[in-house]
Structure 1
Amino acid sequence: MTERADVVELLKGQHTRIRELLDEVAATRGDERKQCFHDLVRLLAVHETAEEEVVHPFARTNIDGGELVVRDRIEEEERAKQALARLDDMDPGSPEFFDHFAALRQDVLAHADNEERYEFAHFDRVADRGRLETLARAVQAAEALAPTRPHPGADTAMKNVAVAPVAAVIDRTRDAVRKAMG
């Protein structure tokens, strides 16, 4: 029987995958870069939505200085969503794309480190293993229904509840069309 992941393990694992995808986008060219970038956009979109709906509300109310910690993370996430939205319309082979991508990469890496240091590092002190496993399941449920593209301005649980269902349907339809078109 495998041990269930807690929310910190789950999110750190996703951060590892995000770092790998950032490296793959930087190292690839052509259609391969385009596919790696779309995989990155999808993972970041569902990951951040779940954090905004589950993780940040937990941190806000359970860790010391949680309100400030979450506010800073949400500001970082909003900047990344705006950058991703701009990049999604660019040709991944263009020098402009790569310049903007390099800046996004730095911001995303710093954001992941900040989450792990200022938010996740406190969770084991304020919740037991069972609660952290429950939070992991809540994150996975939120990800299953999350939009697959960045939506700047939908940066809180309340806004996500209002925007996410419609955005998710539109995004997942766009993903299917994009996949069918090759």
Structure 2
Amino acid sequence: MTTTQQEQDVIDLLLVQHREIEALFAEVRGTAGNARKQAFHQLVRLLAVHESAEELIVHPASRYEAGDAVVDTCLREENDAKRELTNLYALGTDAPGFDAMFAAFERTVIAHARREEQQEFPLLRRNVDPAKLRRMAGAVRAAEAFSPTRPHAGCGESAKTMMVAGPPMAIFDRMRDVVRDWHKADKE
């Protein structure tokens, strides 16, 4: 049975995204050249919007259900991942050392996703009304539409920071995406 967007709750949405992230990691590892670069850019974009939306919508709701320790750990891991992803992005997929850094980054991100799935998500599922979880999925989708498409390490990981800094960074990132894609299309 296929779940429609209106039926999908926030946990189901995030689980689907976690699987998409895993698939993109595999695609980056399994390709080379331009295909690898494109897969990496897709991964960067998905991670950036996914983490921003979690910081804005999911983690604040989880504080009550999962507690400060669980949420603070998630936020710290996500901020560390932003720094690592920023470094990988600056390095580029063809650079020496990319593969080793990327493999370590992948292990870290996958471990983080599993912790969310095992610690944070079950508490939300058990303690939050299903209708609210479905509304949160809509809020996550909306937040992703206005989130930065690149990591901005050092910007902070609080929901308040993302509310203030996120939209201007998102506009800048999306303009850069358009220019990058235009240049790529112009060369083809």
Q: TM-score, normalised by structure 1?
A: 0.95
For 1:125-158, what per-residue CA distance to the aligned partner results, in whole angstroms no more than 9, with x for missing partners? 1112111101111111110100000011331101
**5+ unaligned residues in a row in structure 1: which ranges?**
none
Q: Which runs of 4+ in 1 moved over 4 A?
A: none
User: 2:151 is matched with which residue?
Assistant: 150
DSSP 3-state at the match of 2:70: helix
Aligned residues between the structures = 180
- 2: CA distance, partners of 1:70 / 1:82: 19
RMSD: 1.2
User: 2:51 is matched with which residue?
Assistant: 48
User: 1:121 is matched with which residue?
Assistant: 122
Q: TM-score, normalised by structure 2?
A: 0.92
Letter in 2 for 1:173: M
User: 2:9 is matched with which residue?
Assistant: 6
- 2: CA distance, partners of 1:2 / 1:97: 38
**Cα shift at 1:18:** 0.2
User: 1:163 is matched with which residue?
Assistant: 165
**Cα shift at 1:95:** 2.8
Letter in 1 for 2:28: V
DSSP 3-state at the match of 2:91: coil
- 2: CA distance, partners of 1:122 / 1:103: 29
- 2: CA distance, partners of 1:44 / 1:91: 17
**Cα shift at 1:91:** 2.7
- 1: CA distance, partners of 2:104 / 2:26: 13
**Cα shift at 1:2:** 5.0
For 1:41-97, what per-residue CA distance to the aligned partner results, in whole angstroms no more than 9, with x for missing partners? 00000000000000000000223xx11000001111011100111111123122311
**Cα shift at 1:98:** 1.1
**Cα shift at 1:162:** 1.6
- 2: CA distance, partners of 1:156 / 1:2: 31
Is 1:177 the counterpart of 2:164? The answer is: no
User: 1:39 is matched with which residue?
Assistant: 42
